[in-house]
Amino acid sequence: MSGEQLQHALDSGMDATYGKVFQASEESRGLIDQTRHYTQAICSQLCDTTKHCWHKFPPFRWATYTLTAFNAIPIAILLFWVIVGLGFVSLPVVGVFVFIAFIVAACALLVWGGFQVGLAILSKLGFAK
């Protein structure tokens, strides 16, 4: 097989591969569009149903307001404890990251300083400019 034939075979194989990749991407794009339209239709229907119930059925609104009022304080307490808990967990983590950053910076400074000292010694000996 000559070099031209080999190159032609490789080119045709790549063209076929690119064609298959393009076809797969087009089919997946169609599937994604179809899923998006289906989801939009369901969400639109759910939103319209909720709006209808909200405006035409007052007990639904009363129940929502009552549940919100009764659960506001427990939810506020829960959120407070979540924030406090995450704060106590995140403070040591941040401290460890800061400590590691200082170690890395110190090592980088020592390496740079050693390099500069080495260059100064080599230039005094005449090996470097």
Whether 102 is covered by a domain: the verdict is yes
Q: Residue 2 is which amino acid?
A: S
Q: Are residues 123 and 82 in the same domain?
A: yes
Is the overall model pTM greater than 0.95, yes or no?
Answer: no
CB 129 within 8 A of CB 123: yes
CB 14 within 8 A of CB 7: no
Whether 119 is covered by a domain: the verdict is yes
What are the pLDDT digits (tens) for 7-65?
555 556 656 666 676 677 777 777 788 888 889 999 899 889 988 888 898 888 888 88
Last residue in a domain, options 56, 81, 101? 56
Whether 83 is covered by a domain: the verdict is yes
